[in-house]
Amino acid sequence: MLVDEEVQLTPIHASGYFRVTPGQEVLQVLVFKYLDPQGYYWSLLETSDKGAIEREKSILSHNMQAALDGERVEFNGKRTRPRVRAVWLEAPTASTAEVTFIITFPAQLRRGVNRYSNWYEEETAEYPYNVVWVMPDGSKILGAKLGAPYKVLGGNILLLHIPRGTRVGGYEEIVFKM
């Protein structure tokens, strides 16, 4: 995900926010936090070199899209394709960095029971992360297979915390009723 192979970023945390809209779309916001001991992103953003910043964002977007293309995502048995829409770079300090991805994909929703399914490569989480799914108002989450314990709040909000070292991937699903 980097322009320069010698840049050493260490991932320390991530958060994923998914909002399923009544308009048949999922808005996904992914935020990755890194230790950046060389101050790569700090330097990049401080120079205000729009061309270099845009090149970095383009590389990040391309790499994230390639990862998304390696997954199989379905709503109610119909394949959908997540697309990276925007990338935002921040360097809150000289030694930390954040990369935010805005992703959208269609969701073939229907009245009654709906199923989100995702097949992707298994891996061991290198860093802890949190996931929040918000289903349409009035929906009720019926269950999920996520490889880790989760909580449901208010019937339509799912919260998941994955500790570092957890084996994740393969298959996940969320079943909810509208």
Report the distance separating Cα 84 and Cα 125, nearest Å. Answer: 22
Predicted confidence band at 8 (pLDDT cuts at 50, 70, 90)? Answer: confident
- What's residue 81's pLDDT? 97
- What's residue 151's pLDDT? 98
- Per the prediction, the chain carries an average pLDDT of 94
Q: 11-21 pLDDT, tens per residue?
A: 999 999 999 99
Average pLDDT of span 126-153: 96
- What's residue 23's pLDDT? 86
Q: 19-55 pLDDT, tens per residue?
A: 999 889 999 999 999 999 999 999 999 988 899 999 9
Domains observed in the chain:
10-177 (2.60.40)
Average pLDDT of span 160-177: 94
Predicted TM-score of the model (pTM) = 0.92
